[in-house]
Amino acid sequence: MTNLDKLEANSVHILREAYREFKSLVMLWSIGKDSTVLLWLARKAFFGHVPFPLMHIDTHYKIPEMIEYRDRVALEWGLDLIVGENRKALDERHTFPDGQATRVECCRSLKSEALKHTLSGEWPRRRMDHKVGRLEAEERREAFTGVIVGARADEEGSRSKERYFSARDRQNEWDVGDQPPELWRQYKTDFAPGTHVRIHPLLDWTELNIWEYIERERIPIIPLYFDRGDGRRYRSLGCYPCTSPVVSEAKSVTDIVEELRAGKFRDIAERSGREQDKEDGGLETLRRGGYM
């Protein structure tokens, strides 16, 4: 088995374990490369099917192409897509930079808060209606307690200490010191009622592994990652006010793999284009509060 085969097998095993153990399971899909690889791995695990819904949190600051791509792939692959948002914060302009919020506050309300209340079913959400081919308001909103997330350990310090199956208490808090042991392919899959669990099948993947896998599997990926003529491309996709493209002439998946292996990004961290990480406490503070 090659290294990619092993990563794939381990992720598939975790996805199957999650599907076996959790009744109300959902997968977060940010449209980016990691969660799209995750989606692909779900199709691997379940032999072409995706037997749980996908959830996308729309901050309305996403690059418009992302939304188009999302809906197109959802329809093509027959995905059960659910979309949520923080309507109130948007209406009250509790946002950055055009509202009165800092970057971290904006992230917290448009992403963390929106996610929390969309998962619980408290806030309105829309679901893809495959008969009419568009998102429709969802009437009966179930609460999801198992959430599959595409976090990787190499992204940043606090993520390197995650578990494949990670419990959050009712307040969505993460107790880093008291995490369950994981050994011999046995994970913590028993939880007190009401516990929210995050499942991280991509924990062992690096950014390079992700691109190598996209290349190997020919996974259709959103073209924002490629240089389309202006010598710039996105390395990480987020909201446009806080994510800037990098200078790069990588025009294809193969170019990107090459760039990460030996080229200019060899030793530069992926999230270096994300501004919210640089504020005090950065990602660890956000993550303790439920950021994914």
Partner 1 sequence: MESTENTEQISIVMAGHVDHGKSTVIGRLLSDIGALPQGKLEQVKEMCRRNAKPFEYAFLLDALKDEQSQGITIDAARCFFRTERRRYIMIDAPGHIEFLKNMITGAARAEAALLVIDAREGIRENTKRHGYMLSMLGLRQLAVLVNKMDLADYGRNVFGRITEEYTEFLGRLGIEPVSFIPVSGMEGVNISEKSKLTPWYDGPTVLQQIEAFQHKPPSQVIPFRLPVQDVYKFTEQGDDRRIVAGTIETGTVQVGDRVVFQPSGKSSAIRSVEYFNGAAKSRAAAGEAAGFTLDTQVYIKPGEWMVRQDDPAMKTGTRLRTNLFWMGRDPMIRDKTYKLKLGALRSPVKLVEVLSVLDATELATVSGKQQLDRHDVAEVILETPKPVAFDVLGEIEQTSRLVVVDNYEISGAGIILAAAEAADSVLQEHIRAREIAWKNSAIPLAERNAAYGHGAKFVVFTSEIPELGEAVARALERRLFALNFKAYFLGIDNVAMGLDADLRVGNDYRDDHIRRLGELARIFTDSGQIFITSLANVDEYDINALKLLNTPHEILTVQVGESRFAGFTPDVTIEADGDLGRGVEKACALLKQKQVIQDYSI
Name the minimum Å distance from CB 156 to partner 1. 8
**Residue among 99 and 220 whose Cβ is closer to partner 1:** 220
Query: Residue 175 has which token pair?
Result: 């107790």
How far is 126 from 137, CA to CA, in rounded Å?
4
Determine which residue in the list 3, 100, 102, 252 makes contact with partner 1, applying CB under 8 A: 3
**Residue among 12 and 75 whose Cβ is closer to partner 1:** 12
Binding mask 150-179 for partner 1 (x = CB under 8 A): ---xx-xxx-xx-x------------xx-x
Name the minimum Å distance from CB 136 to partner 1. 20
Residue for token pair 């990652």: 225
Beta bridge partners of 131: none
**Residue among 160 and 171 whose Cβ is closer to partner 1:** 160
Query: Residue 217 has which token pair?
Result: 């599997």
Name the minimum Å distance from CB 242 to partner 1. 19
How far is 224 from 63, CA to CA, in rounded Å?
9
**Residue among 47 and 91 whose Cβ is closer to partner 1:** 47
**19 part of the interface to partner 1, by CB under 8 A:** yes
Backbone angles phi, psi at 108, to 5 degrees: -65, -45
In the chain, which ranges are E strands? Answer: 25-28, 54-57, 81-84, 125-129, 134-137, 146-148, 165-168, 196-199, 232-233, 246-247
**194 part of the interface to partner 1, by CB under 8 A:** no
How far is 98 from 140, CA to CA, in rounded Å?
34
Q: Interaction with partner 1 in 251-290: which residues (CB under 8 A)?
A: 257-258, 261-262, 267-269, 272, 281, 284
**Residue among 100 and 254 whose Cβ is closer to partner 1:** 254
Binding mask 211-250 for partner 1 (x = CB under 8 A): -x--xxx---------------------------------
**191 part of the interface to partner 1, by CB under 8 A:** yes
- Other residues' Cβ atoms within 10 Å of the Cβ of residue 171: 10
Nearest C-alpha neighbor of 25 from the set 182, 199, 185, 188: 199
Determine which residue in the list 99, 180, 241, 263 makes contact with partner 1, applying CB under 8 A: 180
**206 part of the interface to partner 1, by CB under 8 A:** yes
How far is 270 from 84, CA to CA, in rounded Å?
27
CB 77 within 8 A of CB 51: no
Determine which residue in the list 204, 249, 255, 279 makes contact with partner 1, applying CB under 8 A: 204
User: Which window, 96-104, 117-125, 209-217, 226-234, contacts partner 1 (CB under 8 A)?
Assistant: 209-217
How far is 134 from 146, CA to CA, in rounded Å?
26
How far is 62 from 159, CA to CA, in rounded Å?
23
279 alpha-carbon distance from chain centroid:
21
Contact residues: partner 1, CB under 8 A: 1-6, 8-10, 12-13, 16-17, 19-20, 43-49, 51, 78, 153-154, 156-158, 160-161, 163, 176-177, 179-188, 190-192, 204, 206, 212, 215-217, 257-258, 261-262, 267-269, 272, 281, 284
